[in-house]
Structure 1
Amino acid sequence: MSEIKGIEIDCRFLDALSDAVLIFDENLSILYVSSGAERVLGKNRNELLLKDCRDLFGKNFSQNIESGAMLSYKINGIKKLVRINYISRFDNFFIAIISPGPTYEKEDLFMGMVGVSKAMKDIFEKIKVIAPLSSSVLITGETGTGKEMVAEAIHKISGRAGKMIKINCSAFPETLLESELFGYVKGAFTGADKNKPGKFQLADNGTLFLDEIGDLPINLQPKILRAVEKGEIEILGDSKTTQVNTRVICATNRNIEKDVHEGKFRTDLYFRISVFRIHIPPLRERKEDIIPLCEYILDKMNEKYGLGNKYLTKRSVDMLLSWTFPGNIRELENLLERAYIMSKTNTINEDIISEHIFLLSSKISYQNKDEKERIIEAMRMTNSIKEAANALGVSRITLWRKMKKYGIVKKMVGNNNS
C-alpha cells in the first residue's frame, strides 16, 4: 500500500491489471502511473510522477479529455497518440484508463485506405503516378481486398470532370448487360419506349469502373474493346456509332491470364484494359496492416455509432494476427463492426473474435472436403435422406443420383428414407 496526498492506493493491485492506469490531481499533477501505463506511454513512472499532464499531453489536456479527443505526446522526438478510455473523479483526484492511439500516421492513410506495408505504400505511389493519365487500369486481387477503393482513388485524383460510374459485369445476364453498358434508343426492342443512356455515356469525361471484368461474356468483349480502344460505342437500335471520352478501370478476382490462355477472355482486350496493372495482395500476406486497419475501422465505428472509444485486448489482437482472413478487409470490417456493437465495455475481448474464427474455419474445412465426403458426413449426421439433402442444399433426387455415382449405399442412413 502507498499513500499520495491522502489517497490510499494498492499499487500491487493496479500494477497487476492489464489496464494502463493514470492518477492525477485537480492541479493535473500525475500522482500514480501503473506498469501498464508505462508500457503504453513508453516512459518510466519516475519520469512521469508529479509531472503536469499539460507538459506531457499539451496545454489543451483538460479540453481534450472533456471532448473525448485523443491525446498526443512525444517520445524520442516521435509523436504518439493515446486514448482516454475511462475517467472518473474521486474527491480531489482523477483516475484514468488509457490505451495506445492509432499506430498509423497521416502518411499511412491514403484516400480512405490504410497501409503501412511496403506493398500498400507501393500501390499508393502507383496510384499517384497513373491517376492523371487517361490510360486504362486493371486492378486484381481477391474478394474484399479493396479493388473498388483503389479505383475510386484513381478517379478522385485524376481530376476528370465527369462522374465515376460503376457496374458489376457478373450481376447481369448477357442481353441486359449489353443494354446497361451501351444504352438503347426508343423502339430498339419490345418495351424500349424511350431512349436510355448506357454506362459509357453516363461516364463521358469521367471514369467507368467495370467490376468483375473476368465474367464479361465473350460475345460482348469485341464491343468493349472498341469502346476502350477507339472511344466508340454502338447504342442498341442506333445505326451510327457514338463517341465517348471515358476512362475505363477494370477489376477482377479471377486469374484472368488463365482465362486468356483458355480462350475465355480475348487477348487483345486483356492487353487493352491492362495498360497499367495494380495487384492488391490479400490481407494474410501483409499482416503488418492488420493492427492499423483495426484502429482505423474502430475509429470509424465510434464516429458511426458513438458508443465510446473501444479497443482490442492483446489476446484479441493476437487472434486476429493469426487468422488468415479469407474475406480480407471486408471480413475484418464486418467482424469489428459486430464486435464493437456487441461489446458491453470499452474493451473488445476475444470471445466474439474466437467465435467468428471457429465458425468460419469450420465452414472452410467443410467446403474444402470433396463432394463424396460431404455427402457421407451429412448422411451420418442426419440419418435421413430428406434432411441430408436439405443440409447439402440439393433435392432428394439429386442426392440419390450422387449417392449412386459415388457408390454410397443406403445402409449408411439406416432404414429412414424419408
Structure 2
Amino acid sequence: MSQMDKVVKPLPSAVSVLIVDDEPGMRSFLKKALSKKFALVETAASVEDAEKLRSRCHFDLLLVDIRLPGRSGIEWHEALDDKERRSDIIFMTGYADMEVAIQALRAGASDFIMKPFHLEQMMKAVDRCIERRLLKRENLMLRREMSISHSSTIIGRSDAMTEVKHIIERVAPTNAVILIEGESGTGKELVARQLHQLSGRQGPFVPVNCGAIAPELLESELFGHVAGAYTGAKGNREGLFSFASGGSIFLDEIGEMPLKMQTALLRVLEQKVIRPVGSEKEVSIDVRVIAATNRKLADEVELGNFRRDLYYRLNVLDILIPPLRERPEDIVELSHHFTRQLTSELGVKEVIWSHEDLISLQQHDWPGNIRELRNMIERCILLGKPPAEYCKMASVAEEAIAQQGYPLDWSLKQVEKSHVTRVVDSMGGNKSAAARELGVSRKTLDRKYKEWQEGTADKEE
C-alpha cells in the first residue's frame, strides 16, 4: 500500500455547494439532486446574493450560470480571485459560444457545462471537482505528516529514555490503549507519534488537545453531529474519531476532559462505537486510543475530578516520560539535534557551542523541559548569544527571587503579573500548560494578558 493510500479520505458529506442561477427551476432541480449527496447546499439568484452567502460560509464548490442579472458569473471576482478561500467553480451556460467557454476557463473555472444537460453529466462534473479537491487535501496532509515524521525521532540515550524506547517498540504493534504521563514539555506527543508510526496502522494520526476545546463543543468535535443536533448545526459533520478511522487518536491533556465526556469516552473504549450528537444510531470505529496527561491521574481520581473506571481502562499500559532535569546526560545530544534543526529551518549558518555552553545546559534545571530547551536554543541562535550566558542570567534571576522575594513596595497586581509571566516563560510560552500549572483556566490567563496589554485594572476571579 502506498503512502497516499494510508491517508483516509474525508467523506463527501462534508462538502458544501453553492448554486448560483437566476432560473428558479434550475436552482430547485440542482439543490434537490445535490442535497442527497452533500451536507450543505445553498442557492442564490445573483452574484450579489451569492456573495452575501459566501461571506457567511465557505463553499467547496460553486455551480454558476454565466448569464446572470447584474454582474455575470465571469465577473464574480470576489470568488474567482479569492486565494485564501478558493472554491472550485463549474460554469453553466445555455449559449454555445466557444469564446465564452474559453473565457470562463481562463477566469479560473474547474469545468464548463452547456445547458440543457442531463443530471448524470452534471454529477460527473461535480464528482471530478470534489475528487480533485479531496486529493489536494490529502496531499497537504501527507506533506505535513512527512514533515513531522522527519523530526519525530526520540532523542536520548539515558537509561530512562532507553527504557521508554524499549516499551514503545514492544507495545506499538498492539491495539492496546496507552496512557503517557509526564510534565509539560517532555515530549508526550512525540512518543504518541512514534507509537503510531511503529503500529502498522494505515489510517492517520489525529492529535486532540482536550484542554484547548470548549467543554460544550468537545463531544461534537470528537464524535461529530447530525443536522439539527443544536442551533447552527445545519448539516452532518464527521467527528475526529471518524476521521482517525484505521489510525490513532491522541487525546492530549486527558485530565482536562469534563466528567460527562469521560463517561462517553469509557463507552467508546469498551464498545468500540461512537454516537454522533443528535443521532440515534451508533457507528462502529477502528481507532487506537493514546492518551496523555501532565497531571497525576491517580490523585485526580481521589479528588473526584477523574472517573476511577476510566483511569483503570486507560492505564492498561503506562509510559512515564522523565523530566529533563532527571536525565542531564541527554541534554548535549538534544542540544546538537535542535541546533542542526533550527539553523536549517531559520536559514542561518550552523552554530557550534563551546564546552562551557554544553556544561551550563546540563546544570540548568529546565522547568519547561525539552520545550524550554528548544526555545532557548532558538533564542540563542537568533540573538547570537551563547547558552551559558542565558543559563547564568536565568539562574541569577531565580536565585534573587528565591532569596529576596518580590520588592515590598510592589502591589499585589505587580506580583501577580510577574509570577504569571515567569511561569509562562518557564513553559516555553505554552499558555495552556502555564494555566494548568497556575491552577486557573486558559480563558482566565488570556483575560489577564489582555487586561495587562490594555492597562485596565484586574478584576477578582
Instruction: Confirm or deny a common fold (TM above 0.5).
Output: yes
Determine whether 1:308 maps to 2:308.
Answer: no
Three-state SS of the structure 1 residue aligned to 2:174 is coil
Q: 1:325 aligns with which of 366, 384, 388?
A: 366
Three-state SS of the structure 2 residue aligned to 1:312 is coil
Provide the residue aligned with 2:19 in structure 1.
Answer: none
Partners of 1:138 and 1:273 within 8 A in 2: yes
1:169-180 alignment to 2 at 5 Å?
169-180=210-221
Q: 2:159 aligns with which of 118, 125, 129?
A: 118
Structure 2 CA distance, aligned partners of 1:361 and 1:148?
32
Q: In the superposition, relative to structure 1, how do residues 156 and 391 fare at CA in structure 2: closer, same or farther (>3 Å)?
A: closer
Provide the residue aligned with 1:297 in structure 2.
Answer: 338
Structure 1 CA distance, aligned partners of 2:400 and 2:275?
49
Alignment-mate amino acid for residue 351 of structure 2: K
Provide the residue aligned with 1:211 in structure 2.
Answer: 252
Could you report, residue by residue, the CA deviation over 1:192-220 in whole angstroms, capped at 9, with x for unpaired residues?
Answer: 00111111111111101000001111111
Structure 1 CA distance, aligned partners of 2:251 and 2:400?
34
Partners of 2:356 and 2:388 within 8 A in 1: yes
1:14-413 alignment to 2 at 5 Å?
111-343=152-384, 348=386, 350-359=388-397, 365=402, 377=407, 380-381=409-410
Could you report, residue by residue, the CA deviation over 1:254-283 in whole angstroms, capped at 9, with x for unpaired residues?
Answer: 010011122211111111112211000000
Structure 2 CA distance, aligned partners of 1:257 and 1:229?
20
Three-state SS of the structure 1 residue aligned to 2:249 is strand
Alignment-mate amino acid for residue 351 of structure 1: E
Q: In the superposition, relative to structure 1, how do residues 349 and 110 fare at CA in structure 2: closer, same or farther (>3 Å)?
A: closer
Three-state SS of the structure 1 residue aligned to 2:260 is coil
Structure 1 CA distance, aligned partners of 2:239 and 2:309?
23
Structure 2 CA distance, aligned partners of 1:303 and 1:398?
45
Q: More deviation in 115-124 or 165-174?
A: 165-174
Q: What is the root-mean-square deviation in Å for CA atoms of aligned residues?
A: 2.8
Structure 2 CA distance, aligned partners of 1:224 and 1:125?
28
Provide the residue aligned with 2:24 in structure 1.
Answer: none
- The structure richer in strand per residue is 1
1:228 is displaced (CA, Å) by: 1.2
Q: In the superposition, relative to structure 1, how do residues 301 and 241 fare at CA in structure 2: closer, same or farther (>3 Å)?
A: same
Partners of 2:339 and 2:377 within 8 A in 1: yes
1:386 is displaced (CA, Å) by: 8.0
Structure 2 CA distance, aligned partners of 1:262 and 1:155?
32
Q: In the superposition, relative to structure 1, how do residues 360 and 187 fare at CA in structure 2: closer, same or farther (>3 Å)?
A: farther
Structure 1 CA distance, aligned partners of 2:349 and 2:201?
39
Could you report, residue by residue, the CA deviation over 1:27-68 in whole angstroms, capped at 9, with x for unpaired residues?
Answer: xxxxxxxxxxxxxxxxxxxxxxxxxxxxxxxxxxxxxxxxxx
Structure 2 CA distance, aligned partners of 1:388 and 1:260?
33
Structure 1 CA distance, aligned partners of 2:253 and 2:272?
21
Instruction: Say how many residue pairs are matched.
Output: 278
Unaligned segments of structure 1, at least 5 residues: 1-108, 402-418
Partners of 2:184 and 2:368 within 8 A in 1: yes
1:391 is displaced (CA, Å) by: 6.4
Could you report, residue by residue, the CA deviation over 1:7-45 in whole angstroms, capped at 9, with x for unpaired residues?
Answer: xxxxxxxxxxxxxxxxxxxxxxxxxxxxxxxxxxxxxxx
1:352 is displaced (CA, Å) by: 3.2
State the percentage of identical aligned residues.
36
TM (norm. structure 2) is: 0.56
Three-state SS of the structure 1 residue aligned to 2:161 is helix
Structure 2 CA distance, aligned partners of 1:308 and 1:120?
31
Partners of 2:376 and 2:387 within 8 A in 1: no
Structure 2 CA distance, aligned partners of 1:190 and 1:397?
34
Structure 1 CA distance, aligned partners of 2:237 and 2:296?
34
Three-state SS of the structure 1 residue aligned to 2:306 is coil
Structure 2 CA distance, aligned partners of 1:332 and 1:386?
30
Partners of 1:313 and 1:349 within 8 A in 2: no
Three-state SS of the structure 1 residue aligned to 2:259 is coil
1:301 is displaced (CA, Å) by: 1.9
TM (norm. structure 1) is: 0.61
Partners of 1:339 and 1:353 within 8 A in 2: no
1:358 is displaced (CA, Å) by: 4.1
1:359 is displaced (CA, Å) by: 4.7
Partners of 1:206 and 1:245 within 8 A in 2: yes
1:183 is displaced (CA, Å) by: 0.7
Unaligned segments of structure 2, at least 5 residues: 1-149, 420-447
Alignment-mate amino acid for residue 125 of structure 1: H
Partners of 2:272 and 2:285 within 8 A in 1: yes
